[in-house]
């Protein structure tokens, strides 16, 4: 399984609202570094990721109900890194853009780092 397949599996599970399956793509000592927070960002370890992802799924559903579009770019891979652009828009106006940078080690996500422009 390629690193891109690992990240694609994470997103597929998230899009299917399967939090447990999505988080299973992370290494036991994996981290998810969100763009928001004071560190900069906020670092979530695996025990807290399920709650974070559940909140993000709820936000996605709110967006969809309001007609907000979430567009995912193609996954790009370079070594142990996988990159994904995400664009959130409403009526053609970009509301938010972000890049997720994943580090994949031994078939699991070791780091999900989010870079965002709102």
Averaged pLDDT for residues 46-60: 95
Which residues, in sequence order, are bridge partners of residue 24?
A: none
**Which tokens is 2 given?**
């390629």
pTM for the model stands at: 0.93
pLDDT at 103: 98
Q: What is the DSSP letter of 51?
A: H
In tens, the pLDDT along 60-98 reads 999 999 999 999 999 999 999 999 999 999 999 999 999
Cβ contact 72:86 at 8 Å: yes
Per-residue pLDDT band at 41 (split at 50, 70, 90): confident
* H helix or E strand, kind and range, residue 107: none
Report helix, strand or coil for 113: strand
């Amino acid at each position: 399984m390629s690193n891109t397949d690992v990240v694609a599996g994470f997103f597929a599970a998230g899009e299917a609202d399967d939090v447990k399956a999505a988080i299973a793509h992370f290494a036991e000592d994996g981290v998810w570094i969100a763009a928001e927070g004071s560190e900069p960002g906020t670092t979530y370890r695996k025990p807290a990721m399920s709650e974070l992802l559940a909140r993000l799924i709820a936000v996605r559903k709110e967006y969809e109900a309001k007609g907000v579009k979430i567009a995912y770019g193609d996954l790009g891979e370079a070594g142990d890194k996988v990159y994904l652009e995400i664009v959130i828009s409403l009526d053609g106006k970009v509301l938010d853009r972000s890049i997720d940078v994943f580090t994949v080690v031994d078939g699991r996500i070791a780091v999900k780092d989010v870079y965002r422009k709102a």
